[in-house]
Structure 1
């Protein structure tokens, strides 16, 4: 007695779900935004103290915040980026978490 197996093609929703599970997850980012309150020297200090950036890297990121309006200061797992964002708030900086663009 043979067993008959019916093959079907997945519907569109199943195919999209499968691609999302197979595709590597995009990392998350901590973004620091420009504000009218904090001095550039203070922002550089925060980046050096909290993230451990070298002076040149901290200044480059601070200038991106100042000139471009924001800078991505960290990238990784969502939970870690949320911790960084909270820390930036504790320092008085305006920061948000976002998923990295594709």
Structure 2
């Protein structure tokens, strides 16, 4: 026996479905360049991201040895703001979509 529901089911609209999906994550990646001194890169990372000395130094060494370091991951708007700040300090940096999330 099939029992009819007293209230009809509401279908989720495409707009509501899009709003419930998690936002895509973006990475801020600092790239190696031959211009900036290591101590300068550490200072900039501390000021822009609020890193402590060991964490900023770890990212700087990763940039120096591997050519790049992912220093931040989050929303695209915030990633673009961080990218702008890094460019203001004359660091070479990019943002890219985080395919792992």
TM-score (norm 2): 0.75
Q: CA deviation at 1:50?
A: 1.4
Is contact 2:23–2:75 with CA below 8 Å preserved after alignment? no
Q: Which runs of 5+ in 2 are unaligned?
A: 1-17
CA-CA distance at 1:26 after TM superposition:
3.5
CA distance in 2, matches of 1:89, 1:31: 12
Structure 1: stretches of 5+ with no match in the other structure: 1-20
Partner Cα separation in structure 1 for residue 69 and residue 24 of structure 2? 18
Matches within 5 A, 1:1-102: 21=18, 24-102=22-100
Query: Whole-Å Cα distance in 1 between the matches of residues 21 and 77 of structure 2?
Result: 20
Moved over 6 A (4+): none
Give the paired residue count.
84
RMSD of equivalent CA atoms: 1.8
Distance 2:76 2:24 in 1: 10
Contact between 2:28 and 2:83, CA under 8 Å: does it hold in 1? yes
